[in-house]
Amino acid sequence: MADRRDAKPPLLGDIAREGPEGAVQILVGPNLTRFHVPKALLCYYSSYFRGALTGNWKEGDDGIIKLDDVDIPVFQVFVHWLFTQQLPGPHVSDWLQYTVHDPNNISMLKMKIYVFADRFLVDGLRLAIKRVIVGNSKRPYHPRLPTIVHAFNNLRSDDPMLDYLVEYHCLFYTGNKFPFGKLDDLPYSFLLRCFEMHGELNKEAKGKDNSMDKRFDPCDHHEHANLYERGHCEST
Per-residue pLDDT at 107 exceeds 70: yes
Q: Is-contact 6 22, C-beta < 8 A?
A: no
Q: Is-contact 152 191, C-beta < 8 A?
A: no
Listed residue (137, 130, 184, 136) closest to 162, CA to CA: 130
Measured between alpha carbons, how far is 156 from 198 in angstroms, rounded to an integer? Answer: 22
pLDDT (tens digit per residue) in 60-90: 557 789 999 999 999 999 999 999 999 998 8
Interval 21-43 mean pLDDT: 93
pTM of the model: 0.81
Measured between alpha carbons, how far is 83 from 81 in angstroms, rounded to an integer? Answer: 5
| Beta-sheet strands, E only, within the chain | 23-28, 33-38, 64-67
pLDDT (tens digit per residue) in 169-216: 888 776 666 655 667 788 889 888 888 887 777 666 555 554 444 566
